[in-house]
């Protein structure tokens, strides 16, 4: 497997070497390095883009709705980890995308021997570039963490936060702009980093309004205790907003330094909706991510020396559009749903059962059949359980009801091994063409950092 991956890499690199095709390693284009904007839809398999496109379109119209993804598609990537499975997690996936090295599930920027691997952001920083990341989950979650830190396990949330909060050996921070959730990891009982960070010249902002006023780097923005709410339950445009400000701050800094910047933007919670088997939630996260892609495309129209690469670390949930033998997927019914299943279940858990029906039918915007209502009525609740576990019985029934009603299929609450889309535009985009491996994406990006 590894030999095959290496062969594909060298072919891909040959394709982009414009001067000396016999020695791709020596090929050095004369043009200045482009800015790199790497956007990762966590869990965003092709099926999520299909769902989003149909949800934006009207059945019967002559044309499908255009999405900011369509004309960027250049190929597909395999995502398997270096582990005893074909199915990757987000840590191994992000480590491959950040370093070009496959690793075990759970690995944060380390190889299978737990040796730290140099990441795209570290290489960029070493070359004087400005660097940053934006995510809708906590900034110390697997994907952003794998671009800036090295840890044997993604579960070491406090250690990862400590890495972000500690200056590197030769002074300075690992990033110039870091935006997302995760306030609670920097303000813990055992350690409150906030005064120290402020004192050392790393301000932490906690509202998007404050970020809009902010003109200096470095800066860290922590806009939620842990993850942000699901997009379907939140104010619209949060990822687009954070991306706008990250681009503003990085452009400013990169002009001062006379060097490009590298920015990673993660649509983090597409994956979480996939784990929850919640189709309306997933479509809203896709819309949130698409809005951020549009922000980046508008930026690139003004700053053409910018390479944009968009991919996913894996797909999630085994989503299909069509279920139960019927030739249908009801995008209109998906669009009418106005709250996440988690949000509905959280509400139901705390209110008397006689209030359930009105609430559910309001949020789902359809009438339950008597059989479905009976299933929901028979749910047993355990007040002793905590967090998502206590919601599980309600959640499972709601998934079944929504799946039947919208004809959405799910095969798992975990990830899948299907190939994911690769999109690219701008200088160097030809390196991402065709059928490649996730590590090839990182290898091609690393080559552009000079």
d(CA 245, CA 222): 14
Is 271 a binder of Zn ion (CB under 5 A)? yes
Of 82 and 271, the one with the shorter C-beta distance to Zn ion is: 271
C-beta of 204 vs 418, nearer to Zn ion: 418
Shortest reach from residue 316's CB to Zn ion, in Å = 5
Report, in Å, the least distance between residue 293 CB and Zn ion: 20
90 is catalytic: yes
Minimal distance, residue 391 CB to Zn ion, in Å: 18
* Min CB(88)–Zn ion separation in Å: 9
As a whole number of angstroms, the distance between CA 264 and CA 17 comes to 25
Interactions with Zn ion, residue window 174-233 (CB under 5 A)? none
User: Please, which residues have CB within 8 angstroms of residue 96's CB and are 6 or more apart in sequence?
Assistant: 79, 81, 88, 102, 103, 438, 439, 442
Q: Coil, helix or strand for 321?
A: strand
Asked whether the bond before 218 is cis by omega within 30 degrees of 0, the reply is yes
Query: Cβ closer to Zn ion: 275 or 303?
Result: 275
Q: Which stretch binds Zn ion (CB under 5 A): 67-75, 122-130, 263-271, 371-379?
A: 263-271
CB closer to Zn ion out of 247 and 420: 420
Q: What's the CA gap between 109 and 65, in Å, rounded?
A: 38
Under rule CB under 5 A, residue 285 binds Zn ion: no
Q: State the nearest-atom distance from the C-beta of 273 to Zn ion, in Å.
A: 10
Structure tokens at 167: 């200056």
Catalytic-labelled residue, pool 33, 90, 331, 425: 90
Residue 121: what are its φ and ψ, rounded to 5°?
A: -70, -35
Helix, coil or strand: residue 40: strand
Q: How far is CA 382 from CA 289, 346, 374, in A?
A: 36, 13, 19
Choices 105-113, 159-167, 270-278, 279-287 (CB under 5 A): range interacting with Zn ion: 270-278
The order of strands in the sheet holding 261-267 is 204-205, 219-222, 177-181, 130-138, 261-267, 35-41, 306-311, 420-425, 73-78, 434-437
Question: Contact at 8 Å (CB) between 395 and 276?
Answer: yes
Query: What residues are paired with 135 via a beta bridge?
Result: 266
Q: Which of the stretches 46-54, 267-275, 339-347, 382-390 binds Zn ion when contact is defined by CB under 5 A? A: 267-275
d(CA 32, CA 195): 39
Q: Residue with CB nearest Zn ion?
A: 271
In the complex with Zn ion, the residue whose CB is nearer, 232 or 249, is: 232
Q: What is the DSSP letter of 355?
A: G
Of 10-18, 106-114, 232-240, 268-276, which segment contacts Zn ion by CB under 5 A?
268-276
Are 338 and 359 in contact by the 8 Å Cβ rule? The answer is no
Nearer to Zn ion, 102 or 333 (CB): 102
Closest CB 208 distance from Zn ion, rounded Å: 26
Binding of residue 342 to Zn ion (CB under 5 A): no
Residue numbers at the binding site for Zn ion (CB under 5 A): 271
Catalytic center residues:
90
């Amino acid at each position: 497997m590894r030999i095959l991956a290496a062969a594909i890499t060298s072919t891909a690199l040959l394709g982009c070497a414009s001067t000396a095709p016999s020695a791709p390693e020596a090929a050095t284009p004369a043009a200045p390095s482009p800015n790199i904007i790497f956007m990762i839809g966590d869990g965003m398999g092709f099926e999520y883009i299909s769902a989003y496109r149909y949800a934006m379109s009207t059945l019967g119209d002559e044309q499908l709705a255009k999405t900011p993804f369509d004309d960027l598609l250049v190929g597909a990537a395999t995502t398997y980890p270096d582990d005893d499975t074909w199915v990757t997690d987000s840590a191994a996936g992000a480590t491959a995308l950040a370093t070009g090295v496959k690793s075990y599930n759970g690995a944060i920027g380390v190889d299978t021997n737990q040796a730290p691997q140099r990441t795209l952001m570290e290489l960029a920083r070493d070359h004087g570039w400005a660097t940053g990341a934006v995510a809708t989950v906590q900034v110390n979650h697997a994907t952003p963490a794998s671009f800036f830190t090295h840890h044997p396990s993604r579960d070491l949330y406090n250690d990862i936060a400590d890495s972000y909060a500690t200056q590197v050996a030769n002074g300075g921070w690992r990033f110039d702009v870091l935006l997302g959730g995760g306030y609670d990891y920097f303000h813990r009982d055992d350690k409150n980093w906030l005064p120290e960070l402020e004192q050392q010249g790393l301000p932490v902002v906690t509202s998007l309004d404050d970020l809009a006023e902010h003109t200096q780097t470095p800066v860290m923005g922590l806009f939620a205790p842990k993850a942000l709410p699901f997009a379907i339950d939140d104010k619209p445009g949060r990822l687009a907003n954070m991306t706008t400000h990250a681009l503003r701050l990085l452009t400013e800094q990169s002009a001062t330094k006379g060097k490009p910047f590298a920015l990673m933007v993660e649509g983090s919670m597409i994956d979480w909706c996939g784990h929850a088997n919640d189709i309306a939630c997933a479509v809203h996260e896709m819309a949130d991510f698409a809005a951020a892609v549009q922000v980046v495309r508008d930026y690139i129209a003004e700053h053409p020396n910018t390479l944009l690469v968009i991919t996913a670390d894996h797909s999630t949930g085994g989503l299909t559009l069509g279920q139960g033998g019927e030739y249908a997927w009801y995008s209109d019914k998906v669009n009418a749903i106005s709250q996440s299943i988690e949000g509905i279940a959280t509400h139901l858990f705390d209110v008397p059962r006689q209030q359930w029906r009105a609430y559910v039918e309001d949020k789902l915007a359809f009438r339950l059949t008597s059989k479905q209502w009976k299933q929901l009525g028979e749910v047993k609740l355990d007040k002793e359980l905590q967090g998502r576990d206590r919601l599980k019985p309600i959640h499972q029934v709601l998934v079944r009801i929504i799946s039947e009603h919208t004809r959405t299929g799910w095969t798992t609450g975990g990830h899948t091994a299907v190939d994911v889309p690769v999109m690219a535009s701008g200088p160097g985009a030809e390196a991402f063409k065709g059928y490649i491996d996730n590590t090839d994406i990182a290898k091609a990006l690393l080559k552009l950092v000079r």
